[in-house]
Amino acid sequence: MMKNIMNTFLHLLLVVFVISCANKESKQKTILSTKKELTAADILGNPNYQAISFGGYREKTREIQPTIAQLKEDMKLLHAMGIRIIRTYNVQPQLPHASNVVEAIHQLKQEDPTFEMYVMLGAWIDCLNAWTDQQPNHDIESPQNEGEIERAAVLANKYPDIIKVIAVGNEAMIRWATSYYVQPNVILKWVNHLQKMKKEGKLPKDLWITSSDDFASWGGGEESYRTPDLEEIIKAVDYVSMHTYAYHNSHYNPEFWNNPESEHSLTDFEKVNSAMKRALEFAKMQYKNVSDYVKSIDSTKTIHIGETGWATISDGHYGIHGSRATDEYKQGLYFKHLRKWTAKEKISCFYFEAFDEQWKDAGNKNGSENHFGLINLKGEAKFALWDLVDKGTFEGLKRDGKTITKTFNGDKKELLKTVYTPNTDYPR
């Protein structure tokens, strides 16, 4: 008798389990079938879809690629932060980072149909002899560019639900990129190529094509950049992706960084806060300059920020012996100022960047390029994200086995000891 009761009970449990699984599967299918397929037009400029620049590299060399499991950890952390679109930079065959990122997102979506993350896929463009021991020829493009564009197109077709934008080049037209910059006609060529593929049905029709470059490259600075080819690029792209860096200009163009005479009576802390408000105004000014020029060519064109950021460590031009722009407090202020402004104006801002990457200046651990991340390599959230730690945003999530904690053990007094007032009076 007892055996029969147990068998009946186990049978009922099995039935309940099967029904539960079926209901779950049905619910997931319903979510998938009813969920609107978003386009770049829906995502860019939407404050609910925050953007960020992403590199998942942990080591001092890109030869050691982050695994898909590590990239899935990163995507979960970014998703918890409210990030919904990320930017990558190249699709080079020896560096499968971007393709692995997209695959990681694909797997997360398979595991959870409600998971959302989209990609602005970068295709690296450079000139002949770039990054070699030969003299770069800025008037001839690298033969590698064609393959880069082809690989980007393949990925966009493979993952149309994830890849919403292809960016042709990264700071590829700005002349201070002396190792690799190209003439605007090269960017125009590949933008037109991808747009033609869209028209021919060889790429998703809603895929947006842009180029991501310095504000000056988009005509926001000196007149020499305002060429007929640039005008044609502005007409050809689906939107303009511009970069602005008040951080670097604290050394190279420091007029805004110097405390005006009217502020000499302020406390050091007040001077810092005031300087960061001026840094925001500097970014706004560069955005307006680009917008004014772009809209004089095409009044319908939108402008989003493809890069801006603030480093937290520097032993160079921006450190304590230079402009003193560098620390976590200033980064936190800049981050929050930028997010507030861009959300209000419905500008997408691919803040640079999510995580510290130490390969960028592998020979100098204190080089500023290694320290633009909002989360460091110890799994510590910098000051800009302390409030998210307090809210429990990262609860249950880890990076490389490390729980996300605060830098300085969350001691703001200790953090403020690293903060110096702006300086424009130093040897250059």
Q: pLDDT tens-digit profile of 279-288?
A: 999 999 999 9
Mean pLDDT of the chain: 94
- In this prediction, residue 428 carries a pLDDT of 87
Q: 51-55, 255-259, 370-374: lowest mean pLDDT where?
A: 255-259
pLDDT above 70: percentage of residues in the chain: 92
Q: Kindly tell me if the per-residue pLDDT of 413 is higher than 90.
A: yes
pLDDT tens-digit profile of 236-251?
999 999 999 999 999 9
**Mean pLDDT, rounded, for 155-170:** 98
* Cβ count near 58 (within 10 Å): 19
Radius of gyration of the chain (CA): 24
Q: Of 222, 206, 203, 204, which Cα lies nearest the Cα of 214?
A: 222
Reply yes or no on whether the pLDDT at 409 is more than 70: yes
Q: Report the pLDDT value the prediction gives residue 142, as an integer from 0 to 100.
A: 98
The pLDDT of 48-66, averaged and rounded, is: 98
Q: What is the rounded CA–CA span in Å between residue 189 and residue 236?
A: 10
Q: Token digits for 307?
A: 């890069």
Taking only the tens place, the pLDDT of each residue in 298-351 is 999 999 999 999 999 999 999 999 999 999 999 999 999 999 999 999 999 999
- 8 A C-beta contact, residue 265 and residue 70: no
State the pLDDT confidence band at 7, using cuts at 50, 70 and 90. low
Whether the predicted pLDDT of 1 surpasses 60: no
**What does the pLDDT read at residue 4?**
55
CB burial of residue 6 (10 Å; 0-12, 13-18, 19+) = exposed
Average pLDDT over residues 30-38: 61
What's the pLDDT band for 36 if we cut at 50, 70, 90? confident
Give me the CATH topology for the region 37-416.
Answer: TIM Barrel (3.20.20)
Measure the N-to-C terminal CA separation of the chain; round to a whole number of Å: 93
pLDDT at 8 over 80: no
**Helices 97-111 and 144-158: angle between axes, nearest 10 degrees:** 0
For residue 118, pLDDT over 70 is answered with yes
Phi-psi region of 135 (alpha: psi -120 to 50; beta: other; left: phi over 0): beta
Least trusted range by pLDDT, from 5-9, 218-222, 387-391:
5-9
